[in-house]
């Protein structure tokens, strides 16, 4: 299930935090490996988003800073962050702009010969264009989500398998 907050986009699995917490009670190293599996997935998407920042998708004249895209990992899952407090132009770079202030007057971005931000492509309520909203993080998530999800499932499956084997159980169907 996808979860959206103001500055982080994450893939969240129900009861993942309980499973990781239980691993920590059993073996701290296995818990660390489970978090590392989540971290690896977040790093993959972060690298793809940072590569998009370097190309300045959608055009515009905003500064290109790789630090605009961050990541976080907790027991609940991994997330990609848009660091809008440190880089105030990051919101415009990700979501685009409908209007611009030019010499004290408001005009549409389409009328400008040189835009500061890309054109607004929508949000979760209104989607403009075929590729969906967002210019940096959102497309990176859409392009890599299936591959990263499979990678995380495989890595967490290996960790859980080893935990069950250490507990003396012989799991069937996992291997």
Start-to-end Cα distance in the chain: 26
Identify the three-state secondary structure at position 78: strand
Is 13 a residue whose pLDDT tops 90? Answer: no
pLDDT at 34: 92
Residue 6: the pLDDT is: 41
Proportion of the chain above pLDDT 90, given as a percent: 41
Is the pLDDT at 8 greater than 80? The verdict is no
Q: Taking the model in full, what pTM does it have?
A: 0.79
Asked whether the beta carbons of 108 and 117 are under 8 A apart, the reply is no
What does the domain layout of the chain look like in residue ranges?
2-166
- pLDDT tens column, 46-80: 999 999 999 988 888 889 999 999 999 887 788 99
Tokens of 60: 């515009």
Backbone phi, psi, residue 132, to 5°: 90, 180
Distance of alpha carbon 88 from the chain centroid = 18
Q: Is 101 exposed, middle or buried (CB count within 10 Å of its CB: 0-12, 13-18, 19+)? A: exposed
Q: Taking 60 as the threshold, does the pLDDT of residue 10 lie above it?
A: no
The single residue listed with the structure tokens 């995380």 is 152
């Amino acid at each position: 299930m996808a979860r959206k907050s103001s500055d982080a986009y994450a893939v969240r699995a129900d009861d993942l935090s309980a499973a990781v917490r239980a691993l920590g009670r059993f073996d701290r190293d296995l818990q660390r490996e489970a978090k590392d599996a989540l971290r690896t997935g977040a790093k993959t998407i972060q690298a793809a988003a940072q590569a998009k920042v370097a190309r300045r998708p959608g055009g515009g004249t905003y500064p290109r800073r790789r630090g605009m895209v961050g990541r976080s990992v907790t027991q609940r899952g991994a997330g990609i962050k848009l660091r809008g407090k440190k880089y105030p132009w990051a919101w415009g770079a990700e979501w685009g702009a409908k209007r611009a202030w030019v010499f004290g007057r408001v005009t549409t971005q389409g009328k400008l010969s040189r835009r500061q931000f890309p054109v607004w492509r929508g949000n979760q309520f209104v989607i403009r264009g075929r590729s969906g909203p967002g210019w940096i993080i959102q497309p990176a998530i859409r392009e890599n989500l299936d591959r990263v999800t499979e990678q995380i499932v495989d890595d967490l499956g290996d960790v859980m398998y080893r935990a069950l084997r250490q507990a003396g159980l012989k799991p069937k169907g996992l291997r």
